Amino acid sequence: MRHTSGSEQTRCGFVALIGAPNAGKSTLVNALVGAKVAIVSHKVQTTRALLRGIATQGSAQIVMIDTPGIFAPKRRLDRAMVTNAWTGAHDADIAGVLIDAERGLDEEADRLLAQLAAITQPKVLLINKIDLVEKPALLAIAQAANARVAFAATFMISALTGDGIADVKRWLAEHVPAGPWHYPEDQITDAPLRQLAAEITREKLYLRLHQELPYQSTVETDQWQERKDGSTRIEQTIYVEREGQRKIVLGKGGATIKAIGAQARREIAEMIEAPVHLFLFVKVRERWGDDPERYRGMGLEFPKD
Ligand SMILES: Nc1nc2c(ncn2[C@@H]2O[C@H](COP(=O)(O)OP(=O)(O)OP(=O)(O)O)[C@@H](O)[C@H]2O)c(=O)[nH]1
Ligand SMILES: [Mg+2]
């Protein structure tokens, strides 16, 4: 742990990243932390619950809060995710508002900007994916957004290429409150390994499966056993809603689950720096989206209605 000593005053604060689904929040958390802590996919609604990624810059510790995308919720799970995102924003010291430059101020971004009045903390505008858009369009987005919301600063970035990320990090480091660090200096997330491992498998599901299937599945780590030979034995369950979905996840002769398992195993092994034996089970739980137990597993509040 760092201590305040001499002229060096430490700073520490929470920065929530909010934005429409797929705006690049999780990619940006990873870029600021400098390691993959949050899962990323090309599909919307990848992130389901708050996840903290810890970045450091000089004497400042910046705790980034990755949140689910904000959209008009339909299902119970959607409502839990969107509520969770706003909770993250309200509890943070600073809110980073991501706009996808390629989409500009579309209906979803428009609705988000309208809802920002409820956030009283300093807000920073982060126009992301600038690698995909010409400069005049970026300036137009910056102007239009700033005309509607009092942002403390505006940054144009690419979370993917790293363009502009150092500037964002410096600004955040200067603007988080003075105070002691919340986490040891080598910690990069507060999520338990079991949960990170379940997320990695869920990412592979998102990358591999099409249409609605990823949204109708969830992953839980059931067993985590460190063995004498230094390897770790992990059992996970993938919950789906119907038998037909179970068949798709398994694939012909088990080919799909095998590929998902191989990819997940490799990445989990990299994360824990030990050989991993990963066992995946696929279970049908009709209406798991209405089962409070599953929400606990995801780290979400269960909405009662
Ligand atoms: N070209 C480009 N793609 C990006 C950039 N940032 C993120 N992406 C891509 O955008 C997609 C969504 O990224 P995520 O980080 O998962 O987005 P998110 O906002 O966390 O999405 P949800 O969790 O679903 O709300 C992925 O395919 C990323 O690779 C960027 O700066 N440029
Ligand atoms: Mg995300």
Q: Which atom of ligand 1 is nearest to the CA of 43?
A: 24
**Continuous segment of H or E residues that includes residue 25:** helix 25-33
- Distance between Cα 40 and ligand 1 center (Å): 7
The per-residue pLDDT for range 139-166, each reduced to its tens digit, is 999 999 999 999 999 999 999 999 999 9
Record the tokens describing residue 219, joined without a space: 């992953």
Residue 178 CA to ligand 1 center (angstroms) comes to 31
Q: For residues 259 and 250, what is the distance between their CA atoms, to the nearest angstrom?
A: 10
- Nearest C-alpha to atom 7 of ligand 1 is from which residue? 24
| pTM score, whole prediction | 0.96
The ligand with the least distance to the CA atom of 160 is 1
pLDDT tens digits along 229-243: 999 999 999 999 999
pLDDT of residue 179: 97
The pair of structure tokens assigned to 125 is 């505008």
Q: Provide the pLDDT for residue 172.
A: 98
The protein residue whose alpha carbon is closest to atom 2 in ligand 1 is 129
Between the CA of 100 and the centroid of ligand 1 the distance, in Å, is 9
Q: Whose CA is closest to atom 16 on ligand 1?
A: 40
Rounded CA-CA distance 279/144 in Å is 50
Look at strands 11-19 and 94-100 and give their pairing: parallel
| DSSP-assigned letter for residue 66 | E
CB distance 84 to ligand 1 below 6 Å? no
Of ligand 1's listed atoms, the one at least distance from the Cα of 47 is 23
**229 C-alpha to center of ligand 2: Å?**
35
Residues 6 or more apart whose CB falls under 8 angstroms from that of 282 comprise 237, 238, 240, 246, 249, 250, 257
Q: Count Cβ neighbours within 10 Å for each residue of 114-153 and write b for 16 or more, e otherwise.
A: eebeebebbbbbbbbbbeebeeeebeebbeebeeeeebeb
- 212 CA → ligand 2 middle, Å: 17
Q: Which ligand has an atom closest to residue 71 CA?
A: 1
Written in H, E and C, the secondary structure of 127-153 is EECHHHCCHHHHHHHHHHHHHHCCCCE
> Which atom of ligand 1 lies at the shortest distance from residue 68's CA?
25
pLDDT of residue 1: 52
Rounded to 5 degrees, φ, ψ at 8 are -85, 110
Contacts of residues 108-112 at CB distance under 8 Å and 24 or more positions apart, as own/partner, are: 108/20, 108/21, 108/70, 108/71, 109/19, 109/20, 111/70, 111/72, 112/18, 112/19, 112/20, 112/70
Low-confidence residues of the chain, pLDDT below 50? Answer: 4-6
**Distance, CA of 201 to CA of 249 (rounded, Å):** 12
Pocket test of ligand 1: the residue of 18, 33, 39, 40 to mutate, having most ligand atoms within 8 Å of its CB, is 40
Q: 78 CB contacts (<8 Å, ≥6 apart)?
A: 45, 71
